Structure 1
Amino acid sequence: MPDLLWPGDERAGDLLDDTRLLGSMVRIEQAWLDGLVAAGVAPAAAKADLPAVDAADAAGLALGAEGGGNPVVGLVRLLRERLRAAGAADAATWLHRGLTSQDVVDTALVLALVDALDRVDAALGRAADALADLAREHATTVMVGRTLTQHAVPTTFGLKAAGWLRGILGAADEVRRARALLPVQAGGAAGTLSALGELVSLAAAGSAGAAADPLAITDVLADALGLARSVPWHTDRTPITRAGDALGTATQACGRIAADVLTLTRPEIAELGEPADEGRGGSSTMPQKQNPVLSVLVRRAAITTPGLVATLHAAAALADDERPTGSWHAEWATLRDLGRRSVVAVDQTAELVAGLRVHADAMAEQAAHAATTGGLLAERDAVRAVAGAAAIEDLDPSTYLGVADEIVRRVVERADRLRNETRRHP
């Protein structure tokens, strides 16, 4: 159900919810069992379709997870019971053999991160398209440039949109890199694959054909799940922190946009307006208000996600021995909140920039007023004085924009390349 205290949470759907995660765990167990049979480690009679789990199972497994410290212990027990009841005793016997609970939890979380990063990437792409359009359209729309809250020099709204776009494109780069590197986890009890190695040796001794080596079986698992092949990484949490960093970078880029929009929608500035949808932005007591709620909610995520990312790094630094104590467990709910909140924030940002209302007349009016009365062109005059050139009487702010148009062009070209890349490789 939607989160009452995180408005917009429904945009994340079932991402990282209990039933979806348990479904991924079953998928992992299925792929592993299939791999054991295919490699000749488990007998052909062990091949079976594992039973599905539902919301009722998730609730029961959550209640029982305290006993084993994680939900996999109860899940394996439940699956074995159901397999035996269905007459698949061999499958029940061979289920989960060679794996450990961390393998299943880690790989299930990695699969969830694949989904989260893919969804963030898609929303970043929508935001980039909208921002590229804004940058092109408003490449010559003059406005006041502000530094440290004060009027500085003239700029254009196109350049501001290009600056937002650059942050979105950088985030997309990080998201795609992290997504491509997400690995399978299969290491057995202490990351040595000792149980699987023993089973492989026994299978090889009992048959004419040699069974596959243990790492080859983990490669089959990775391929079946669409993940990167990897040796065990039980206490090297770089895959998790890398993905967390990418999600944090995405919300950071969105937060920057939200901060600017919140400033520029203030009534005393009124240079921008959020998308005007009926029922959005109203007040419970003040009928005249049109609150910039999308920007408010995006900024909320930008404020909270760095703490979640920091928790992942702290957990990674405290991963001890061959299987972490407590620090591994601290990642789970942190990743759920980080993944869901990032998806929501980037989706909200894509909607925000796609429907952003640009009040070019207000921008031009404020820029002209600042140029004639507020010294918006004072830097130009100071530079000319240093160079021994005469002052210019023309107070048109559009005459002092540097290479804003060229910067816009280069950033938009980069966005166009990303768009074309995405179309070729969706």
Structure 2
Amino acid sequence: MTDLFWPGDERAGSHFSAEDFVGAMLAVEEDWLGRGFSTPVDAEQLALDAEAGGNPVIPLLRILREQHPEAHRGLTSQDVVDSALMRMADSAVATLRRDLRVVTDRLAALASEHRGTPMVARTLTQHAVPTTFGFRIAAWLTAVLDADDDLARLAFPQQLGGAAGTRAAIVELGRESPADVPRWHTTRAPVTRIGDALVGCTDACARIANDVLTLSRPEIGELAEGSGGGSSTMPNKANPVLSVLVRRAALTTPQLAATLHLAAAQQVDDRADGGWHAEWATLRDLVRRTLVAASQTAELVTDLRVDTDRMAATLAAAGDAVLAEQRSITDDPAPTYLGDATAYVDQVVARARRTPEEPS
């Protein structure tokens, strides 16, 4: 899948593509029926036919019932769409966490390598006190680990409530009523929680990208992307394109999650009139943009170039400006003023190196 309006979209693979959506809806129907379907389904034609009923399940059923007339009995369209969205989200989050694992492993290695690499800390864009590059990386790593923890806590429940959540048809058909399955036709926390967790991921990725963008400015030159992108008019330029594209995602995903919350707030009666429909494409864009950003971040940190000499030179050139607080606190002329920065780096690295089953 590609998108000329979103360079790099192919990194998200088939997640939340039209074909993925059709496959997930078919899987829901097959699980309910207890048998498979051999009838081919054209995703493009299904999309064209979906407008008349407002959702793709209605035209899908016309195809499926040609083979199995009893298909879908007891369900409603929202059961199928919601359950399909959760299946797709579960798969996408698994892929996302694999990319974040690449990021955390690389950042842990970099933080250990540079735990004592001196550089100047900057606050409100200005030189502040001495720090280490390892400490800066530990901040990046903390954000990524926190985002991954939020992903790990997500649940992807199926939807099985029938026409209005009462499961009346299911009971009348003598089907076992799955009491442990929540009914969330108009309580959309499963969707908004996914949205919030995804935005947390792009926040964490942008935390890294923003620093790379700043520190790769020629007048600073402390970091650089492994292979920058070109310019249409200036062949000498090596633009930090990966960082730019990661930042792009972080500038747009919060609004997508806000749309999911707005749709949740606009739920009404026992099934909503538009709020539910607003979620599908919104969640698709949010999932795919987050997957792309995580993949680009993994590449960014894997190939990141660090100029330790430039970091040391900048710190030295800062002179008294970075010693002011130290002199106001202590008379000790020691050249370092790092507090417990290295201990914190070690703590964050240890957290990153726990197995996925261990609590963080």
TM-score (norm 1): 0.82
Within the candidate set 185, 189, 214, 2:177 is matched to 214
Structure 1 residue 52: deviation in Å?
5.1
* Residues in 1 aligned to 2:134 and 2:255: alpha-carbon distance in whole angstroms: 32
Identity of aligned residues (%): 55
The aligned residue for residue 329 of structure 2 is: 383
CA contact (8 A) 2:39 2:63 kept: no
Tell me the equivalent position of 2:164: 190
CA distance in 2, matches of 1:121, 1:19: 23
User: 5 Å matches for 1:145-160?
Assistant: 145-160=121-136
Q: 2:206 aligns with which of 245, 255, 261?
A: 255
Secondary structure of the structure 1 residue equivalent to 2:129: strand
CA-CA distance at 1:357 after TM superposition? 0.6
SS in 2 for 1:153: strand
Q: Which residue of 2 aligns with 1:69?
A: 54
Q: Shift of the alpha carbon at 1:102?
A: 0.2
Tell me, yes or no, if structure 1 residue 269 matches structure 2 residue 220: yes
- Partner of 1:343, secondary structure, is helix
User: Is residue 2:8 matched to residue 1:8?
Assistant: yes
Structure-2 residue corresponding to 1:239: 190
Give the Cα–Cα distance (whole angstroms) in 2 for the partners of residues 312 and 354 of structure 1. Answer: 33
The number of aligned residues is 359
Q: Name 1:353's counterpart in structure 2.
A: 301
Gaps of 5+ in 2: none
Is the 1:65–1:74 contact (alpha carbons within 8 Å) kept by the matching residues of 2? yes
1:287 matched residue in structure 2:
235
Distance 2:40 2:113 in 1: 51
Displacement of 1:5: 1.2
Question: Aligned partners of 2:107 and 2:317: how far apart in 1?
Answer: 27
Task: Indicate conservation of the 8 Å contact 2:16/2:284, yes or no.
Answer: yes
How big is each residue's C-alpha offset from its partner over 1:149-200, in whole Å with a ceiling of 9 and x where there is no partner? Answer: 000001000000011000000000001101xx21010111000110111111
1:177 equivalent in structure 2: 153
- Name the residue aligned to 1:421: 356
Match for residue 335 of structure 1? 283
**Secondary structure, aligned partner of 2:276:** helix
Give the drift of 1:406.
0.3
Structure 1 residue 93: Cα displacement: 2.3
For 1:407 and 1:306, how far apart are their aligned partners in 2? 30
Partner Cα separation in structure 1 for residue 356 and residue 246 of structure 2: 27
Unaligned runs of 5+ in 1: 35-47, 84-91, 201-211, 217-228, 385-389
SS in 2 for 1:183: coil
- Which of 44, 47, 55 is the matching residue for 1:59? 44
- How far apart are 1:97 and its partner, in Å? 0.2
Q: Which residue of 1 aligns with 2:245?
A: 297
* SS of corresponding position for 1:21: helix
CA–CA separation in structure 2 for the residues paired with 1:304 and 1:168: 19
CA contact (8 A) 1:23 1:52 kept: no
Is 1:411–2:357 an aligned residue pair?
A: no
In structure 1, what is the Cα distance between the partners aligned to 2:173 and 2:156? Answer: 27
Partner of 2:139: 163
The AA in structure 2 aligned to 1:302 is: A
Q: Secondary structure at the match of 1:319?
A: coil
Q: Return the letter of the residue paired with 2:13.
A: G
The one-letter code matched in structure 2 to 1:175 is L
Secondary structure of 2:121's counterpart equals: strand
Instruction: Using the TM superposition, give the Cα deviation of residue 213 of structure 1 relative to its aligned residue in structure 2, in angstroms.
Output: 2.8
The 2-side partners of 1:358 and 1:64 are apart by 54
Q: CA deviation at 1:391?
A: 6.6
> What's 1:50 paired with?
37
Aligned AA for 1:60?
Q
Q: Which has the larger radius of gyration?
A: 1
Change (3 A) 1:52 1:382: farther
Deviation track 1:232-289 (CA, whole Å, cap 9, x = no partner) reads 110010000011111010111001111111000000000001112xxx5100110110
Q: For 2:95 and 2:272, how far apart are their aligned partners in 1?
A: 30
Displacement of 1:131 in angstroms is 0.3
> Which amino acid counterpart does residue 163 of structure 1 have in structure 2?
A
